[in-house]
Amino acid sequence: MVGTLEAEVALDASDRCDRCGAQAVARATMASGSHLLFCGHHLRAHEAGLQAASARIARAAAESARHARGPAE
């Protein structure tokens, strides 16, 4: 099974990236049921690996809108 994109998730300023401590913009739920929070930078860096590991990735509403628009020009 390949990782999937979940509906938006509610994250607030107290939710921090598990890698660097920056504000989290997404939550990855691993097949085991554990959760990891990611800032935008670390989500982009690890998204392919998370999907390969069958993680479900839910983005915060603001990040979902930015992701839908694609990279800034």
The pLDDT tens digits of the residues spanning 12-69 come to: 999 999 999 999 999 999 999 999 999 999 999 999 999 999 999 999 976 655 555 5
**Alpha helices (H) along 1-73:** 40-52, 61-69
- Return the closest-CA partner of residue 59 out of 49, 71, 47: 47
Tokens read off for 56 = 């479900």
pLDDT at residue 43, as a whole number: 96
* pLDDT given for residue 40 in this prediction: 94
**Could you identify the residue written with the tokens 């989290």?**
24
- The structure's pTM equals 0.76
CA atoms within 13 A on the CB side of 4: 4
